[in-house]
Amino acid sequence: MATGANSGSSYLNLVEAVRHKELFAIKGYGYGLVTAAARWRGEMHVGPADRDLSKVDWGMPNIEFGHSFDRLHPDWIGSQLYDQLLDEGNERLSRSGHFLPHRSCAYLFHCVEDEEDYDRTYCLVLQETNTVVQGLTFIRQRPPSGHIWDRWIMDCASFKVGSQGVTLDYGVAQPHAPRDAIDMLTRKTTQMIDDAIVATMLVMSRL
């Protein structure tokens, strides 16, 4: 599991943004469409985060995965290993035992620039209680200086996953968000859950 983030994309930088109230969040969506890569092209409302994060233990272990989950990068772990670990992870989750390597931990995944986004880092903040894993997603891109994405931004969707299945919280009032935006959030968050499961299995295999 490699490093490779610049200082602005580090876990410490995210924690500092939270503590100094510099964290932004996606608040909602307007007119737009979903791309093939499950990303949004259109109106997106972003502003200072107002979600209560006081119960998050930001002193949690944080694990860098480099570009291991970037399907466009040579370090991508590959579909065969990914699918194998995903199956094993889902089977392990179904047994209702302790799943994460720590009760609270953060995973950082880095992705190279593509046709839709700049170089970016995703940070999954995970907490496990009563065999249910709860997750929040944060994104930091590397656009030109001064761009709205040149900061840590919290995704509006969060999730819970365990032996009883998956629950998604979209963080926006569904009647006031385009149906396409809800579908995009479902696809994108489901992929993040799968990545978290596979990442956990990678970590556990090395303990």
- Mind listing the pLDDT tens digit for each residue in 10-49? 999 999 999 999 999 998 888 777 776 677 777 888 899 9
Looking at the predicted structure, is the pLDDT value of residue 6 above 60? no
**Cβ(139)–Cβ(124) below 8 Å:** no
One-letter amino acid for residue 51 of the chain: R
pLDDT tens readout for residues 63-85: 999 999 999 899 999 999 999 99
pLDDT tens readout for residues 170-200: 876 544 567 788 888 888 899 999 999 999 9
What three-state secondary structure class fits 110?
strand
Give CA–CA dist 92/158, Å, rounded: 21
Hey, CA dihedral for 6, 7, 11, 17, is it positive or negative?
Answer: negative
Give CA–CA dist 31/173, Å, rounded: 15
Ranges of each domain in the chain: 7-205
Task: Please state, for a pLDDT cut of 70, what percent of the chain lies above it.
Answer: 92
Quickly state the pLDDT bin for 3 (edges 50, 70, 90). very low
Quickly state the pLDDT bin for 97 (edges 50, 70, 90). confident
